[in-house]
């Protein structure tokens, strides 16, 4: 055991007790943040909250609007079809005095997905109610709890008179839920470190591999007629044609899932690739055969799978399916990409950072760190694929992310915060404040 490890072992109890002592404040802060809606395009108030928290702790604060024209040429950029007028990132930087330790990025996203019909929630989706050890609310788990755990970890060190001996960049980014362009903008702005840590709510385990999501939209044309002629052979119902294509795409989904045997991190996953029909709209008038329909899908690619090849396969399949339909054969649907265009990611070349996390996890949980692969995605890919930076994903337990009654387990959050604080101390080293 090195002198450094001995020093950290000596601090374990004090840091753990500091997290315990500050946990009520951490939960109160989380409740305040959950109560601030931050869906796509509404993140400004929540980002102002994060900036104020960083300033209160004496961090250097950097706030900026994302400029698409500066970033669209970068690897990892995803196409967008929405306004970026208020799309703002916030980074708080802790500067070590002598920079004797390793640097670290603590990254989390402030954006959340829509809540859906509020009547379906048991609690107010922005109420941050605590029931039986769970805090409920959109973003409580995914991922405002993890975002604030980063702050709480630094607070715990400060409460025992310590601070990281390496620079730490606390990033609150937008766009994780639809493109990842927020994390990419941090890279473009020059933020680099020896490692990155993302406390996504995917359980306190090491995420080894993740898929790469892709969004696409299919535009289907119809032949509008009066509804009375719909069954006389006249017209073509665009909504029905879209439903036909959606059904056929299930065949492509089966093909892609069958390829999991070629990917060792996903070969035991029950269903790594899902063609999710996320949105559909069409028609203009109940008494008219619909002239148009669009549907949006989220699919995913395996690590190492070519995005260009995946697009070609999707478009070719839709063209083949259309050829089998008498109307679509002469009225080809159009495919558009309007969001995620992400590569899959596998954590590699990360022995040192994994060892630090392993020591911290074992100290808190009393058992070895385990790992898994996920059919979801995180911003880790940007650091690992485009910045030569190993990116750890490890976070608290969350139930129903993106669903009704999303909630984070508070005991899990406390334990993860302890692990994160010990990890920061181990990875960066510590110095007196």
Distance, in Å, from the CA atom of 373 to the CA atom of 80, rounded to the nearest integer, reads 28
Any residues with CB less than 8 A from the CB of 66 and at least 6 apart, and which? 84, 87, 88, 89, 174, 175, 181, 182, 185
Instruction: Please tell me the distance from the alpha carbon of residue 150 to that of residue 135, in angstroms, as a whole number.
Output: 18
Give 349's DSSP letter.
Answer: S
Q: Which of 54, 170, 167, 39 is nearest to 100 (CA)?
A: 167
Catalytic one of 111, 167, 397, 426: 111
> Is 111 annotated as catalytic?
yes
Closest CA to 164 of 62, 61, 59, 51: 59
Give all strands (DSSP E) within 85-159, no chain letters. 88-94, 104-109, 130-131, 134-136
Is 325 a known active-site residue? Answer: no
* Rg, C-alpha atoms of the chain: 24
Closest of 210, 185, 195 to residue 343, by C-alpha:
210
Q: What ranges in 238-306 are assigned the alpha helix state H?
A: 238-258
Q: 375 near 271, Cβ under 8 Å?
A: yes
Choose, from 142, 167, 176, 406, the residue flagged as catalytic.
Answer: 176
Phi-psi region of 132 (alpha: psi -120 to 50; beta: other; left: phi over 0): left
17's CB contacts (< 8 A; 6+ apart) are none
Q: What's the rounded Cα separation, in Å, for the pair 153 and 144?
A: 14
Strands (DSSP E) contained in 227-359 are 276-282, 292-301, 334-336, 345-346
DSSP tag of 387 = S
Rounded Cα distance between 407 and 409, Å, is: 7
Active site residues: 111, 176
């Amino acid at each position: 055991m090195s002198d450094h490890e001995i020093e950290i072992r000596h601090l374990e109890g004090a840091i753990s007790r500091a997290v315990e002592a500050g946990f009520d404040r951490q939960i109160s802060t989380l409740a305040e943040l959950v109560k601030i809606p931050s869906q796509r395009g509404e993140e400004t108030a929540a980002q102002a909250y994060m900036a104020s928290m960083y300033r209160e702790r004496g961090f250097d604060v950097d706030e900026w609007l994302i400029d698409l024209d500066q970033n669209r040429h970068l690897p990892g950029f995803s196409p967008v079809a929405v306004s970026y007028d208020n799309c703002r990132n916030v980074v708080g930087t802790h500067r070590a005095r002598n920079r004797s330790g390793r640097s670290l990025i603590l990254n989390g996203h402030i954006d959340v997905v829509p809540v859906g019909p509020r009547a379906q929630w048991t609690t107010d989706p922005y109420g941050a109610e605590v029931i039986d050890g769970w805090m409920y609310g959109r973003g409580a788990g995914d991922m405002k709890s993890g975002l604030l755990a980063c702050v709480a970890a630094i607070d715990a060190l400060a409460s025992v008179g310590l601070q990281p001996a390496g620079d730490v960049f606390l990033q609150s980014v937008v766009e994780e839920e639809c493109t990842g362009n927020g994390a990419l903008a941090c890279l473009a702005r020059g933020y680099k470190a020896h490692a990155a840590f993302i406390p996504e709510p995917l359980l306190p385990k090491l995420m080894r591999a993740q898929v790469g999501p892709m969004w696409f939209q299919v535009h289907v044309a119809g032949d509008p007629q009066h509804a009375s002629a719909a069954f006389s052979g006249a017209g073509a119902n665009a909504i029905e044609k879209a439903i036909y294509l959606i059904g056929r795409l299930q065949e492509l989904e089966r093909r892609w899932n069958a390829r999991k045997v070629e990917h060792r991190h996903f070969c035991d996953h029950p269903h790594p690739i899902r063609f999710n029909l996320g949105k559909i709209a069409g028609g203009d008038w109940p008494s008219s055969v619909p002239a148009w329909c669009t549907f949006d899908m989220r699919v995913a690619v395996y690590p190492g799978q070519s995005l260009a090849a995946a697009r070609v396969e999707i478009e070719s399949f839709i063209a083949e399916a259309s050829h089998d339909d008498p109307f679509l054969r002469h009225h080809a649907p159009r495919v558009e990409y309007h969001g995620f265009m992400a590569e899959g990611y596998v954590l590699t070349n990360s022995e040192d950072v994994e060892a630090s996390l392993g020591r911290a996890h074992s100290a808190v949980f009393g058992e070895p760190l385990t790992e898994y692969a996920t059919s979801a995605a995180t911003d880790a890919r940007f650091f690992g694929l485009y910045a030569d930076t190993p990116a750890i994903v490890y976070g608290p337990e969350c139930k129903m992310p993106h669903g009704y009654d999303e909630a984070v387990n508070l005991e899990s959050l406390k334990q993860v915060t302890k692990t994160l604080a010990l990890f920061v101390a181990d990875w960066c080293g510590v110095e007196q404040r």
